[in-house]
Amino acid sequence: MNQTVYMDHNATSPTRPQAVDAVMRAMKVNGNPSSVHSQGRKARRLVEDAREQVRAAVNAAKSAQIVFTSCGTEANTLALQGCDRAKAFIGATEHPSVLGACGAFEIERILVDGNGLIDPFKLEEMFAGGGDDVIVSVMLANNETGVLQQVEGIARMAHRYDALVHCDAVQALGKVDVDFTTLGVDMMSLSAHKIGGPLGIGALIATKDVKLTAINRGGGQENGVRGGTENVPGIVGFGVAAELAKAELTDMARVQDLRDRLESRLLHIAPDATVIASMADRLPNTSFISMAGVDAETQIMALDLAGICLSAGSACASGKTKTSVVLNAMGVPQDVAQCAVRVSLGHTSTEDDIEHFISAWCDLYQRKHAAKSAA
């Protein structure tokens, strides 16, 4: 039986045992956190403790709002639809959930360069008519390429025009130091399952000055910003995962070493391979690599048969092996883009995983190119 090697942490990172234990304990608390009796107060305490764990993980001020949502997508939607702005300036390489949240907006796409980086001077030109009716949404780390945006500088510039700034930090948390206060953004989206927490729980962090309007209306939970009974077990698991992700950031040096070794070996085996945005500042765990002449779908299927789990890009996009919108926006040649797959490592990744992947990738590369030579 093939060894199973999981290399899709940017889609979902395997749940941490400590988070599983925390969820199980929380499920034994019977109260509704909105109830005033002892069990309700116990549930409320669990929610508020987790809120503080998430706050500490991103260094958000005590005054900042932390609204628990069902996922990062809902957090993005709440930020964009609940902010009372008419225009949205959206990075061309943003996650599909950000663009999907902008249905009623006047949208302008912020162009990126060949590394997927926003040019702040081009963004500034977009503010020619002012910015007090604008929300700018720029992700901290791209989920496909791992490229890190200069969010702090973008936020400073946008604020000069009185624009609001939202940052999707879903992919960055747990991989780089995410500091809400230092970045200077008005809102930030997070998700638990990207850091080894449970599926189905996320959060939106907002400064005290942001006036959010609920998009899910109901019983007034989450200070009236997100109606519906809180998912106490999920929230508790999120809090534990956030605390661990922050504490274990030093492990990313090991993960980056594994990633760099993988890229170096593959490029030695196949000099015609391409690592997307290799010269940009990237997440330490992410490699988007193109095997020349072998389309992404073929690679994913062949590697899956070898016991290796990875993807061709965003797990939230329909048509998972279609050419990446992100790569198109970056101007990556079509023949390179359609042959690119994403390797994303994490807290469970080992040296054996890297060796197994390199062996399987090399075997596929040699077989495909031998067949082409014989044709």
For 33-59, what is each residue's pLDDT tens digit?
999 999 999 999 999 999 999 999 999
Residue 365 has pLDDT above 60, yes or no: yes
User: Which residues are known catalytic residues?
Assistant: 316
Phi-psi region of 223 (alpha: psi -120 to 50; beta: other; left: phi over 0): left
Question: pLDDT confidence of 286, banded at 50, 70, 90?
Answer: very high
Q: What is the CA radius of gyration of the chain?
A: 21
C-alpha dihedral (239, 4, 352, 260), degrees to nearest 10? -70
pLDDT at 101: 80
pLDDT at 1: 45
State the average pLDDT over residues 14-30: 97
End-to-end, the C-alpha distance of the chain in Å comes to 32
Above pLDDT 70, what percent of the chain?
Answer: 96
Residue 2 has pLDDT above 90, yes or no: no
For 342-363, what is each residue's pLDDT tens digit?
999 999 999 999 999 999 999 9
DSSP string, 310-343: -BSS-TTSSSTTSPPHHHHHHT--HHHHTTEEEE
Question: pLDDT confidence of 242, banded at 50, 70, 90?
Answer: very high
The full set of domains in the chain, from first to last, is 5-13+249-369 (3.90.1150.10), 17-247 (3.40.640.10)
State the average pLDDT over residues 295-301: 95
For 177-219, what is each residue's pLDDT tens digit?
999 999 999 999 999 999 999 999 999 999 999 999 988 888 8
Lowest mean pLDDT among 115-124, 145-154, 321-330, 336-345: 321-330
